[in-house]
Amino acid sequence: MAELFVEASSEKDEECIAIQTHSVSPETGTAVAAIAQLRSFFSGTVIAPDDATYDAARTVYYGGIDRRPALIARPKNAHDVSHVVSVARESGLELAVRSGGHSLAGHGTTDGGIVLDLSDMKRLEIDIAGRTAWAQTGLTAGEYKIGVGAHGLATGFGDTGSVGIGGITLGGGIGYLVRRHGLTIDSLVAAELVTADGRLLCADADTYPDLFWAIRGGGGNFGVATRFQFRLHEVNAIVGGMLVLPATADTIASFVAEADAASDELSTIATVMIAPLMPFLPAEAHGQPVILAMMVYVGEVEADERAIAPFRSIATPIADMVRPMRYPDIYTPDTGDHPVGSSRTLFLDAVDRSMAETILGHLRTSTARMAAAEIRVLGGAMARVPIEATAFAHRRARITVNVAARYEHPEEAVVHEPWVPDFSTALRPGGGGAYVGFLGSDGPSRIREAYPGATWERLVATKMRYDPTNLFRLNQNITPA
């Protein structure tokens, strides 16, 4: 594993240096030639199917995704990334780009193609005085928050420490700080990307502004992000943790109403589920519907009790682990599990008592090992950014819901998968938009729901400009016109 470098500096970071395009000539579609070509000038690691580390290297986060790439390339720097992109372009081999490997659709791997695995690129440079950080995209959210958290600083990255910062940033980034500091992309100052022609471009609000607009929500369609510059926020001591309440139609509706009425300093993620065997839950709660809520309050310490009290008063908590802590501690350790399941994302305007009854009714009908509806109340800083400012087009959405079924083995999908779209249709017939970061293998119509109206047309035009041949297509794909 590559070393994580953390450098505190007040000096301006070096300018983005252009990388010349490379001319490579492996025989079209020949993996052996591509491996040889890469190994001849590549400073990183090239892993082939006959290497001892191949099976571990091809494994992604979600179980049931079993693909065998022709080679896995782990670059050390942007020059290496450019080499890999050029080899993929000239050889015709399919290219998969992996940051943390958390794609629900398995886009971080490929059968017979090239995996560009960024996991050895973990350099982090922190400008404490300027409140910014340059971060290579092989970093996970957990590694980043530990690095900047040592200085009492943070950038919001979802709710899972093992997710790669590359994918979550390009998709938008809805996490524990969404109401206080907005989406991850709202803290993005600049980005370095290797485009389909092998060039390294530095994009920000003034340089390649069309590209900078598109990568803030448009996913990995426009190039390989190698570094991001983020704005840092002072987030040290928080009040956060898990609050477990009994789930009834009234408690669910009340929880959502309180989360919507709360100050921007409070963000919540409420998972409604049938309680599994968990060591922190009493025996009588097992098998009963519960609200398992993660609470994060980032505000004045003396106001924390007032912020959490309305939720504690909804019902007698089954478990209450909300306490003062450092922000990095809200992320739970990676268990190393590879979950198997299906999910569907949508946006809602409200969750009232009737909709809460629908949620409980569908949860009781699932036969999966775990079935859940994850509810995130949005608004706050996220909603104050103009819709047209970035490619994330759902700024005015009030609530995002992710319905999911988890099961033991991939072959069980035929039994449990149909429950997921049935559930989401019951919540919002006719579709309710989509957050691209939560999409799986949902198909083109769902991608269009993620990018409605003029956003789609603008993304297509940008795709034509930077990737007209659709080299970067293993993603929630925006096809060139």
Burial (Cβ within 10 Å: 0-12, 13-18, ≥19) of residue 138:
buried
Look at residue 16 in the predicted model and tell me its pLDDT: 61
Tens-place pLDDT, residues 302-346: 788 899 999 999 999 999 999 999 999 999 888 788 899 999 999
- d(Cα 166, Cα 161) in Å, to the nearest integer? 13
Contact between 289 and 371 under an 8 Å Cβ cutoff? The reply is no
Q: Which phi and psi angles does 141 have, rounded to 5°?
A: -60, -35
- d(Cα 312, Cα 391) in Å, to the nearest integer? 37
Rounded to an integer, the average pLDDT of 412-427 is 95
- d(Cα 139, Cα 121) in Å, to the nearest integer? 7
Look at residue 4 in the predicted model and tell me its pLDDT: 55
For the chain, which domains are there?
15-117 (3.30.43.10), 124-234 (3.30.465.10), 237-446 (3.40.462.20)
Tens-place pLDDT, residues 33-58: 888 888 888 999 999 999 999 999 99
Which residues are registered as beta bridge partners of 242? 294
Contact between 64 and 106 under an 8 Å Cβ cutoff? The reply is no
Look at residue 2 in the predicted model and tell me its pLDDT: 45
Question: Does 219 score more than 60 pLDDT?
Answer: yes
Which of 45, 53, 35 is closest to 80 using CA atoms?
45
Write down the pTM of the prediction.
Answer: 0.93
- d(Cα 91, Cα 93) in Å, to the nearest integer? 5
Question: DSSP code of 289?
Answer: E
Confidence of residue 12 (pLDDT cuts 50, 70, 90): very low
- d(Cα 344, Cα 384) in Å, to the nearest integer? 26
Contact between 29 and 56 under an 8 Å Cβ cutoff? The reply is no
Rounded to an integer, the average pLDDT of 1-14 is 47
Tens-place pLDDT, residues 176-191: 999 999 999 999 999 9
Query: What's the mean pLDDT when you consider all of the chain?
Result: 93
Which of 360, 203, 174, 143 is closest to 267 using CA atoms?
174
- d(Cα 340, Cα 404) in Å, to the nearest integer? 10
- Backbone Cα Rg of the chain: 22
In this predicted model, which residue has the larger pLDDT, 25 or 218? 218
- d(Cα 106, Cα 450) in Å, to the nearest integer? 19
Question: Does 141 score more than 80 pLDDT?
Answer: yes
Tens-place pLDDT, residues 378-410: 999 999 999 999 999 999 999 999 999 999 999
Contact between 426 and 362 under an 8 Å Cβ cutoff? The reply is yes
- d(Cα 174, Cα 195) in Å, to the nearest integer? 26
Tens-place pLDDT, residues 461-476: 999 999 999 999 999 9
Decide the pairing of beta strands 233-234 and 266-274: unpaired
Confidence of residue 7 (pLDDT cuts 50, 70, 90): low
Confidence of residue 9 (pLDDT cuts 50, 70, 90): very low
The percent of residues in the chain predicted with pLDDT above 90, rounded, is: 85
